[in-house]
Every structure is written in C-alpha cells, then in structure tokens.
Structure 1
Amino acid sequence: MGLLYFILFVVAFYYVFKFSMRLLLPFAMRKLTERMMKKAQQQQSQGQYNYGGAGNPFGGGSPFGNAYEQQSYRSDNTKTKEGKVKVDYVPAQEAKRKGTATAGEFIDFEEVK
C-alpha cells in the first residue's frame, strides 16, 4: 500500500511542478531579462565595460573592434544618402528553361502486386 501512495505522490508532484513551471517560468525569465538589460544600460551609461581584462582573448580592445572607428569608416566611404542602397555587383542571370528540362529526372518504375 505504501508503494501505491509513493507512486501517486510522485505523479501528483510531477503534474503540479509542470503546471507551476508553465506559469512561473515566463514571469521569472521576463524579470531576469529586464534586470540584465537595466544593468547593461547602467554600465553603458557609466562607461564601465572592461574589454581589456585577463579573460579577453582579443587583447586590450573590444572583440568586435572599435564601434566609433567602424561608424566613421562607413560615413567616410559612403557618398550616398542615408536610406539609399548601392549595389556594387549584380550577377548575370541564366536563361530560364521551361517544361520538363527544369522538372528534374524521371525514373520509370513497375508496380509490384
């Protein structure tokens, strides 16, 4: 009789845990992301990012390069207005084939009964 109560308790605990996680986990994740975003914004506004630490394999700089250098490089090299797209290379288009030439390979088969 004790084994039956144990199995019943484990099954009931499983479903209660599963139901509670469906309700609580999205709320907890939302709060966690809000807290992380707030912390990142505070660090950014205070300029406390330390890219040159001992754990950084890229040396003293940012692993993605200096954002200000990249932005100034883009503004110097682009003479088009903002919002305009400039395409440097357009590949040649192949002649479009129609019919069975584009359908692929056909394999004959016999129906086995």
Structure 2
Amino acid sequence: MGLLKTIFFIVLFYYGFKFLARLFAPYLMKKAAETIQKKAEQQFGGQQKQQQQKSSVKEGETIIDKKPGSQQESKKSVGEYVDFEEID
C-alpha cells in the first residue's frame, strides 16, 4: 500500500508542477525579458556616453588613457623571457 501512495504523490506532484509552471511561466519570462532589456539599455547608454565624450575632443587633439610607465611595470612582473628552439 505504501508503494501505491508514493507513486500517487509523485504523479500528483508532477502534474501539479506542470500546471503551476504553465500559469507562472509567462509572468517569469516577462520579468526576465524586462531585466535583460534594462541591462542592455544601461550598457548602451554607457557606451553612448563614452562616444559623446570622445566626439567632444577636437580634431588633432591626443588623449592618453594610461600612465606612461605602466607597460614597463607589467613586463617586470611577468618574469624572465626564455627563447626555445626546436630540435630536429
């Protein structure tokens, strides 16, 4: 008798879950689409803002985003360079 009860509850849970999923799936999909749309708008707005800042620079003007010594510092932290040759 216990086996039949277990099977009954499993089937009941399965069909109950399917029913609830059909009810709430459209709402969840709508919320997910809105969230993705907001993130995309924020990213696009940030890119657009950067482009406007770059376009405000006059022709012939130079902009440097990095410090001059940053490349030398990063090479020092990498380590020693070893050149390997193939042996036939």
Question: Higher helix share goes to which structure?
Answer: 2
Q: CA deviation at 1:36?
A: 0.2
The separation in 1 between residues aligned to 2:47 and 2:37, in whole angstroms, is 15
Distance, in Å, in 2 between the alignment partners of 1:46 and 1:21 is 36
Higher relative contact order (CA 8 A, sep 6+): 1
Uncovered stretches (5+) of structure 2, i.e. residues with no partner: 49-88
Contiguous gaps of at least 5 residues in structure 1: 49-113
| Deviation for aligned residue 1:25 | 1.2
Matches within 5 A, 1:22-41: 22-41=22-41
Aligned length: 48
Taking every aligned residue pair, what percent have the same amino acid on both sides? 52
What is the rounded CA distance, in whole Å, between the counterparts of 1:26 and 1:10 in structure 2?
25
SS at match of 1:47: helix
Structure 1: which 4+ aligned runs deviate by more than 2 Å? none
- Normalising by structure 1, we get a TM-score of 0.41
Aligned-residue offset at 1:24: 1.1
Structure 1 residue 20: Cα displacement = 0.5
Taking the aligned partners of 2:2 and 2:25, their CA distance within structure 1 comes to 33
> Equivalences for 1:8-87 in 2 at 5 Å?
8-47=8-47
Q: What does the per-residue CA deviation read over 1:43-93, in whole Å, with 9 as the maximum and x for residues that have no partner?
A: 101118xxxxxxxxxxxxxxxxxxxxxxxxxxxxxxxxxxxxxxxxxxxxx
Give how far 1:26 is off. 1.1
SS of residue matched to 2:34: helix
- Other-structure match for 2:66: none
Letter in 1 for 2:22: R
